[in-house]
Amino acid sequence: MRSALAKNAAIVALGSRTLPLARRLQRCIPGAEILTTQTGAASLLRSLFRSGRPIVGICAAGILIRALAPLLEDKTAEPPVVAVAEDGSAVVPLLGGHRGANAMARALARASRGIAAITTASETRLGFALDNPPPGWRVANPERAKPLMARLLDGKRVRVAVEAGDPEWLLGSEQVEASPSPHPSPQGEREKKAAMFLPLPNGERGGVRGHAPDVVVTDRAARPRERALVLHPPVLALGVGTSRHCPPAELGALVRRTLREAGLAATAIAVVSSIDIKMDEPAVAALAERLGVPARFFPAERLLRETPRLQSPSAATFRATGCYGVAEGAALAAVGRAGTLVLPKRKSRNATCAIARSAQALDPSRIGRARGNLAIVGIGPGDAAWRTPEASAAVANASDVVGYKLYLDLLGDALRGKRRHVRALGAETERARLALDLAAQGRSVALVSSGDAGIYGLATLVFELVDRGERPDWRRIRIEVAPGLSALQAAAARAGAPLGHDFAAISLSDLLTPWAQIERRLVAAARGDFVLALYNPRSERRTRQLEAARRILLRHRRPETPVVLARNLGRDGERIAIETLAGFDASAVDMLTLVMVGSRSTRVMPGNPPRVYTPRGYRASS
């Protein structure tokens, strides 16, 4: 299955009875998320479809069809959609067959012990589709694919000429008739390959020497009004070097000029490669994104081994980087010993680039090292329904997940197939350092925090460690923060609407902040008449802070001021109690409890349950 298309897939289970099957299917789709719904299935399915996420619906195909029919416009852009019978007996790719749904269906059928009902004629009869080549391959003129597939399905021959790459997925390794390629290399370097012919459905082969090919497999740029279908194999490695803060537009323009000069296709580029000190260079990242390929990096000592093969070695480059050529060296390192440098270094004011070719299709995952990614993820109070899609996607895309055991256990099946790194509750710094170290190795890491990672969470700690400059490679990591539902938001929602007006959050933990400073903040917030969310109110070792905070607040608030005690939000044993400032039992509060103290205008609305709210305007204040 194409991992790029299965990435961030959603398995939608309509009800709990299909959860066991959903978990079985999840094992064969790395990073897939299970979403359950009793009502509102159509809305959920449309939301997933609009966001481009592959969908596996464990339900009748008709449910998916009716939900998604109003959104169907462009079949070349739609995500894969697969229907799975509730007993797993049938797996039907409904949409995006050539974009991964057929491959998903086959893998899912193996997991469910069912039958994959593939209806795409090209794949059922021929085993391939010209407009759906393997990962990394590109089609230059896809409009030519459909008539050629029709010819094949009609039993007619199609002639294929190979100039670059090895299209095993198309023909295997058999050569039918030796014939020179119709288009010589733009530089006269390319070895002439034999013309190859697709086998006819009945096993015959055919072709007439001298006839123009119907399909050309090449890394050259397609000519205007090209009559043949042009397939670009991923055989080119683009090596680049830049000065610090090189404008992305400059590097992009240099690469475009270089490709034009060489007559090579940008869509035959498999990877952008450079030296590892350029991992965080925006121009390199922007170039790889524009080309739609990964960026991979090598240490200087690896590039130094390419010195004998360089055409433009530079002593100045060695003094600056520790190797004699970044662009040429990175391109050659990417294609390996069997590859060749087809275009030596070209340069602009702040950038260099070079191109090397491999005889075989390149797999970027086996080249150099990726730039590490660290997602600092807030998973909310714990309930999966309160987890943001961005947080779920960050966990799904991670290879390694670091966290406190309770938080990782709350993620459940979302961690299936991932490397778990568990650290103790008080080891926040150790967790952050470990996550940074793993990301510096080129891994995709999720550092998990409860609530919101930026609110008394681990995000600040990570940035503190990086800012200290302990390890230069930490600064090359891509760091992102995925927001989560904070405890104060969850508590407010359960209690009613106590945060309807201005509010403040204060942590009562004096492990890092002197108590005198916490007291000053409590006094200021009390005088300002803010609704107060008190984090870290009480622990086994810290037993006096909450009572001290109550005494301060009672100087400025009425004894009957509403207080919300929210414990174990979104987890088993959740308890919401509404007390008064003078009457609540501080000894019953622990670290799993958030204490929310109303302002002078906060009200309790009687009912079952009672509701706490703070009016929107100051006129309601007394």
Residue pLDDT, tens place only, 52-74:
889 999 999 999 999 999 888 77
Is the bond preceding residue 615 a cis peptide, omega within 30 degrees? no
pLDDT of residue 619: 59
User: What was the pLDDT predicted at 121?
Assistant: 56
Question: How high does pLDDT run on average in the chain?
Answer: 86
In this model, does residue 609 exceed pLDDT 50?
yes
Q: Provide the pLDDT for residue 292.
A: 92
**Residue 174 pLDDT > 50:** no
Whether residue 417 has pLDDT greater than 90: no
Side-chain half-sphere CA neighbours of 549 within 13 A: 31
Predicted local distance difference test score (pLDDT) of residue 143? 83
Residue 185's pLDDT is what? 45
pLDDT band at 211, cuts 50/70/90?
low
The pLDDT of residue 594 is 92
- Over residues 540-545, the mean pLDDT reads 86
- Is 169 or 275 the better-scoring residue by pLDDT? 275
pLDDT higher for 621 or 12? Answer: 12
Q: Which of 98-102, 341-345, 366-370, 474-478 has the lowest mean pLDDT?
A: 98-102
- The SS3 call for residue 372 is coil
Give the whole-angstrom CA distance, residue 220 versus residue 469: 45
* pLDDT at 416 > cutoff 80: no
For 514-533, what is each residue's pLDDT tens digit? 999 999 999 999 999 999 99
Could you give the residue ranges of the DSSP H alpha helices within 571-610?
none
- At residue 204 the predicted structure's pLDDT band, cuts being 50, 70 and 90, is very low
Q: Which two tokens stand for residue 435?
A: 């996550």
Which of the pair, 132 or 531, is modelled with greater confidence?
531
Is it the case that residue 20 has pLDDT exceeding 80? Answer: yes
Residue 8 has pLDDT above 60, yes or no: yes
* Residue-wise DSSP of 214-272: SEEE-SBPPPTT--SEEEE-S-EEEEEEE-TT--HHHHHHHHHHHHHHHTB-GGGEEEE
Q: How many other CB atoms sit within 10 Å of the CB of residue 543?
A: 12
Is 119's pLDDT higher than 80? no
The answer to whether 46 and 71 have CB atoms below 8 angstroms apart is: yes
Distance between CA 277 and CA 567 in Å, rounded?
A: 47
Banded pLDDT at 127 (limits 50, 70, 90)? low
Confidence of residue 23 (pLDDT cuts 50, 70, 90): confident
pLDDT for residue 21 is more than 70: yes
pLDDT reported for residue 7: 63
Which tens digits make up the pLDDT trace of 233-267?
Answer: 999 999 999 999 999 999 999 999 999 999 999 99
Model confidence at 84, pLDDT cuts 50, 70, 90, reads very high
Is residue 374 predicted with pLDDT exceeding 60?
A: yes
Q: Report percent pLDDT > 70 for the chain.
A: 89
Indicate the helix (H) or strand (E) that contains 283: helix 282-291
pLDDT for 480 equals 95
Element of type H or E holding 343:
strand 340-347
Bigger pLDDT: 491 vs 6: 491
Q: Report residue 3's pLDDT band, with 50, 70 and 90 as the boundaries.
A: very low
Instruction: Read off the pLDDT of each residue in 174-203 and give the average, rounded to a whole number.
Output: 41
Length of the chain: 622
Helix/strand/coil for 194: coil
The pLDDT score that the predictor gives to residue 198 is: 52
Q: Which conformational region is residue 188 in: left (phi greater than 0), alpha (psi within -120 to 50 degrees), or beta?
A: left
Ordered domains of the chain (ranges, CATH): 3-119 (3.40.50.11220), 236-369 (3.30.420.180), 374-485 (3.40.1010.10), 488-620 (3.30.950.10)
